[in-house]
């Protein structure tokens, strides 16, 4: 059980990054279906940064902890941010259709990731780099099951939770959050109230992409312990599902991501089920999401709905 819960949290954090990033983007009224591609590129960017840094050292084993983490996280966020910039430029400035742009971004992102990973990244260094990312508190092992479940993770897990809490606080308690929600609900009204709609949309699309990108880095460096795997994009789709499941609330998404993590690994963790039953269990997160989507739309409470202008581009001179 302890192993199961630890695993659920460990995988869930991948979704948490993607989900919080997507929530921030969607709150600005932009449905970014490029999240799967952005997460892949985030993973690629982090690996590229880390491997370049370690490759530049005379002895890769002497990498400094702080510097390595910083380079990994920043380069991951940087590359994911560039993807976000492409998306933002096309959908905000050029007013392209958001669904279409997002899907193209996913195609482009997975391609770019694969190309760079094959050509430019020394993958043999990743396993070593991973040991830095997975380093946990030294006393975690001494605290029994509590320490095992909550304290045995690498630093990115706590960064993810911190980001989610900050995002929740930002959205609900600050003036910036209020303005952002206004932009997502009704940009014309926000514009009339003197909010710089374009700046808000750009800022939160970029921040959202950078946060989501770190999810890819986490998945490779921490969850997979530095072994490379294609298929981050399928986790990206789950992160988008998680946004609905948690009703566009970053604080709920912390718990929600652990639930999704549990549902995802349940198929491997429950003893004595057949391979076929495993497949049915894998369906569960999606079915749960659909049910949540239906129930919230039937109940129709304003707080649980998607932002009203989600998916629509804003042009000031439109009536």
Q: Is 229 in the site for another protein (CB under 8 A)?
A: no
Q: Where are the beta strands (DSSP E) in the chain?
A: none
Residue 14 binding another protein, by CB under 8 A: no
Give the nearest distance from C-beta 103 to another protein in angstroms. 5
Stretch that binds another protein, among 131-139, 190-198, 238-246, 254-262 (CB under 8 A): 238-246
What is the C-alpha separation between 122 and 16, in angstroms, rounded?
Answer: 28
CB 35, CB 240: distance < 8 Å: yes
Query: How many angstroms separate the CA atoms of 120 and 54, rounded?
Result: 13
Binding status of residue 65 toward another protein by CB under 8 A:
no
Nearer to another protein, 70 or 287 (CB): 287
Closest distance between another protein and the C-beta of residue 237, in Å? 7
Q: Report, in Å, the least distance between residue 125 CB and another protein.
A: 21
Q: How far apart are CA 170 and CA 204, in angstroms?
A: 12
Is residue 178 a contact point for another protein (CB under 8 A)? no
Give dist(CA 121, CA 246) in Å, integer: 36
* String of contacts with another protein for each residue 138-177, x by CB under 8 A: ----------------------------------------
User: Can you tell me which of 4, 158, 228, 286 binds another protein, judged by CB under 8 A?
Assistant: 286
Identified binder of another protein from the candidate list 207, 232, 306, 314, rule CB under 8 A: 306
End-to-end CA separation in angstroms for the chain? 57
Task: Decide: is 303 part of the binding site for another protein (CB under 8 A).
Answer: no
Is 266 one of the binding residues for another protein (CB under 8 A)?
no
Q: Which stretch binds another protein (CB under 8 A): 133-141, 182-190, 258-266, 273-281?
A: 273-281
Polymer length of the chain? 319
Q: How far is the CB of 38 from another protein (least distance, A)?
A: 13
Question: Using the rule CB under 8 A, is 106 a contact of another protein?
Answer: yes
How big is the CA angle at 37 (ends 33 and 39), to the nearest 5 degrees? 105
Q: Which stretch binds another protein (CB under 8 A): 61-69, 87-95, 141-149, 254-262?
A: 87-95
Q: Tell me how far apart the alpha carbons of residues 18 and 36 are, in angstroms, rounded to a whole number.
A: 8
Q: Report the residue number, 1 or 298, with the smaller CB distance to another protein.
A: 298
Contact status: 31 vs another protein (CB under 8 A): yes
Q: Exposed (0-12), middle (13-18) or buried (19+): which is 231, by Cβ within 10 Å?
A: exposed
- How many degrees, rounded to 5, is the angle at CA 85 between CA 82 and CA 88? 155
Of the candidate residues 32, 75, 113, 309, the single one contacting another protein (CB under 8 A): 113
**Interface with another protein, residue 244, by CB under 8 A:** yes
Q: Give the binding-site size for another protein (rule: CB under 8 A).
A: 52
Asked whether position 241 contacts another protein by CB under 8 A, the answer is yes
Q: Interface residues with another protein (CB under 8 A)? A: 31, 33, 86, 89-90, 94-97, 99-101, 103-115, 118-119, 237, 240-241, 244, 275-276, 279-280, 282-283, 286-287, 289-290, 293-294, 297-298, 300, 306, 310-311, 315, 317-318
């Amino acid at each position: 059980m302890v192993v199961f819960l630890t695993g659920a949290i460990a995988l869930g954090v991948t979704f948490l990054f993607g989900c919080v990033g997507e929530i921030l983007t969607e709150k600005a009224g932009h449905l970014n279906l490029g999240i799967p591609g952005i997460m892949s590129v985030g993973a690629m960017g982090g690996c590229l940064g880390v491997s370049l840094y370690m490759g530049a050292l005379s002895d890769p084993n002497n990498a400094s902890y702080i510097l390595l983490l910083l380079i990994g996280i920043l380069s991951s966020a940087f590359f994911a941010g560039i993807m976000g910039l492409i998306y933002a430029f096309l959908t905000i400035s050029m007013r392209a259709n958001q669904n279409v742009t997002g899907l193209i971004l996913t195609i482009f992102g997975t391609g770019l990731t694969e190309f760079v990973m094959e050509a430019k990244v020394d993958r043999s260094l990743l396993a070593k780099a991973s040991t830095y990312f997975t380093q946990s508190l030294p006393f975690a092992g001494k605290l029994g099951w509590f320490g095992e479940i909550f304290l045995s993770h690498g630093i990115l897990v706590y960064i993810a939770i911190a980001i989610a809490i900050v995002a929740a606080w930002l959205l609900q308690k600050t003036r910036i959050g209020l303005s952002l929600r206004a932009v997502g609900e009704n940009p014309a009204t926000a514009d009339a109230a003197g909010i710089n709609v374009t700046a808000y949309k750009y800022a939160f699309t970029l921040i959202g992409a950078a946060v989501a990108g770190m999810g890819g880095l986490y998945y490779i460096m921490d969850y997979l312990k530095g072994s490379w795997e294609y298929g981050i994009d399928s986790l990206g789709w789950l992160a988008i599902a998680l946004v609905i499941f948690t009703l566009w609330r970053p604080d709920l998404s912390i718990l929600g991501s652990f639930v999704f993590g549990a549902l995802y690994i349940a198929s491997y963790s429950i003893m004595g089920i057949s391979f076929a039953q495993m497949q049915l269990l894998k369906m569960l997160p999606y079915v749960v999401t659909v049910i949540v989507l239906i129930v919230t739309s039937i109940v129709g409470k304003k707080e649980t709905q998607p932002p009203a202008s989600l998916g629509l581009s804003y042009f000031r001179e439109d009536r």
